[in-house]
Amino acid sequence: MLVSAWVLGSGLELDYRQMQIFQYVDNLFLAIPPAYRSATALFVLLLLVFSLWRIIKGYGIFILIIIILIPGIWPALKTVGGDLLLLLTYILYRI
């Protein structure tokens, strides 16, 4: 399994939920022919960036409120941000 080799080589520690996400992404990429995998990974990455941009653009006032309230929600943001960063790193690695 590609995920296991990547995780073991990187020194990252993943919980069960994160491993399930990576296994799903890995199985999805294994279904795509090798010649198209990097283009598909790049497309998914651009789609994620575009989606995040639309969220930031559409909900600017709410993001400002979140920044004001960040001391109370820091643990949740740290977990979600870490998961997103790990997923983006994995997708970039697949390119």
Q: How many domains does the chain have?
A: 1
pTM of the entire predicted model = 0.47
CB 45 within 8 A of CB 25: no
**Residues 8-40 pLDDT 10s:** 455 556 677 777 877 887 888 888 888 888 888
One-letter amino acid identity for 34? P
Domain range spanning residue 62?
2-94
Instruction: List the end-to-end C-alpha distance of the chain, in Å, as a whole number.
Output: 17
